[in-house]
Amino acid sequence: MSASRRDAGRGVGVVVPFDFAVDRELWRWTPDDVQLHITRTPFVPSPMTEDMARAISQEAPVRQATRDVLLPEPGVVAYACASGSFVDGTDGEAALIDIMTDAGAPRAVTTAGGLAQALAALRVRRLSLVTPYIDALNSLLVAFLGAHGVETVASTGLGLLGQIWRVSDEELVDSVRAVDRPEADAVFISCTNLTTYDLIAPLERELGKPVITANQVTMWAALRALGLRASGPGQWLVERASLAVATPRPAAHPPAPSQPQDGGAAPPETSLHKIRARLPDEPGALARLSEAVAGAGGNILSLAVHGYDSSSVVDELYVVASPPVASGQLTDAVAASIGGPVHAMPADPHDLVDAPTRALELAVQAREHPDGVPEALRALVHADRVHETSRLPDADEHQLVLTVPDGTGWLVATRRWAPFTPTERARAEAFLRTLVPASAEPS
């Protein structure tokens, strides 16, 4: 059997509107046993405006490019351009799918359609946006998202009319940090002409929520159409999103609920969250918090109490919700009931481990591998990141500053999603004391 016949149906054909950054990006999400076949539509000498977005998604060039990429018999063809697939709304995105399938594609996806699928799979209802676009294109993206039931809570556009591939990683990271909001379930970086693969996992660890990008959702959706998972270690969408979620499509009539193939009852869908709520240290406060969580559809799996000051405490809860809810919705519901500061974020089932046991394991690992002390401390206090510095930082409730075990500087833990508590400081200081050799301790 020839190689081409053996691999037929496992390849991904990609139609690209002459972007300059996309090729290497897309390959990084591609499993080793899957081939990419990339072709480009003709160059359009125009600034990056609505007119250009429409020009690069016209029927004739897309149809021809689709036919060109069908020779190696890919199992799916992807139109890899965000603005070209959202510029004319949901009808325009659906028309692109029809053009590619009419041209012979066995399956077809677009970047904007992949975005809608990804948001549905992650159950995102509130989103922050980072784009390189001018305001007019941003508005069209917001409208596209709204048609899929997703609210844009904040957005920023770089206002670029060309050379988008020259945007630096630092500029993108700064933009994501600036546009993120507590009520946003995720952040989306638009435009396939931006390189983002290496930024996703670190930003997700820092923000505690999904950070999805145009090239990522394109490849995720294309591979998902083949029943395959993309390659993206540490990336929320790749590792946590189900491949079985129905493709979202605006429709006049809701789809009938699917039935399990074995005839049995389908397992209930759930979402897991970590909540931190500051409460007055008084009788009945925990009862009000429990009622608020239950009223929002949540069930408390574990509870820890952190001392905060002489009149208040911080309760940390792991909550499972069925049916699933977004962390932002849970935050709003609980905050409205208890009246105090509330922080909620999606949680990982691996977090549901006995805290003292986890602390002891981290201490053993840090003693055996001193270079891993910052990472162990990050895991212990659920920080976004930990770095070492020789200069004492300014006071900040979102930073935990600790003396390194050898006394030569400071370890700084940073967490943007919630302030650190005195209990966590005491826990971190005790953790670092376990790393000091007995001979170095004062007698």
The residue to which tokens 């990683």 are assigned: 169
Question: Residue 350: its pLDDT value, please?
Answer: 58
Quickly list DSSP for 179-234. Answer: H--TT-SEEEE--TTS--HHHHHHHHHHHTS-EEEHHHHHHHHHHHHTT-----TT
* Domains of the chain with CATH codes: 3-240 (3.40.50.12500), 271-351 (3.30.70.260), 355-437 (no CATH)
Q: How far apart are CA 105 and CA 97, in angstroms?
A: 9
Report the run of H or E that residue 87 belongs to, with start and end: none
- Do 131 and 156 meet the contact criterion of CB atoms below 8 Å apart? yes
Quickly list DSSP for 172-192. Answer: HHHHHHHH--TT-SEEEE--T
Q: How far apart are CA 107 and CA 13, in angstroms?
A: 10
255 in the Ramachandran plot: left (φ > 0), alpha (ψ -120 to 50) or beta?
Answer: beta
Question: Residue 160: its pLDDT value, please?
Answer: 86
Question: Residue 8: its pLDDT value, please?
Answer: 53
In order along its 443 residues, the chain shows pLDDT tens digits of 344 444 555 799 999 987 666 788 899 999 999 999 999 888 877 778 888 888 889 999 999 999 999 999 999 999 999 999 999 999 999 999 999 999 999 999 999 999 999 999 999 999 999 999 999 999 999 999 999 999 999 999 988 887 888 899 999 999 999 999 989 999 999 999 999 999 999 999 889 899 999 999 999 999 999 989 999 988 999 988 877 644 444 534 444 444 444 444 445 567 788 888 888 888 888 888 888 888 888 888 888 888 778 788 888 888 888 777 777 677 777 877 777 778 777 776 656 666 777 788 788 878 877 777 888 888 888 787 788 888 888 888 889 999 888 778 889 988 876 788 888 888 888 888 888 875 555 54
| Global confidence as pTM | 0.59
Question: Residue 287: its pLDDT value, please?
Answer: 86
Question: Residue 255: its pLDDT value, please?
Answer: 40
Question: Residue 280: its pLDDT value, please?
Answer: 86
Give bridge partners of residue 339 from the DSSP assignment: none
* Structure-token pair, residue 243: 């491949």
The helix/strand/coil state of 307 is strand
* Structure-token pair, residue 317: 């809860």
Q: How far apart are CA 302 and CA 317, in angstroms?
A: 6
Q: How far apart are CA 359 and CA 428, in angstroms?
A: 10
Quickly list DSSP for 24-77. Answer: HHHHHTS-TT--EEEEEPPP--S-SSHHHHHHTT-HHHHHHHHHHTTTT--SEE
Convert 176-197 to b/e letters by CB count within 10 Å (16 or more is b). Answer: beebbebbbbbbbbbbbbbbbb
Question: Residue 352: its pLDDT value, please?
Answer: 67
Order of strands across the sheet with 312-321? 298-309, 312-321, 271-280, 342-346
Question: Residue 4: its pLDDT value, please?
Answer: 44
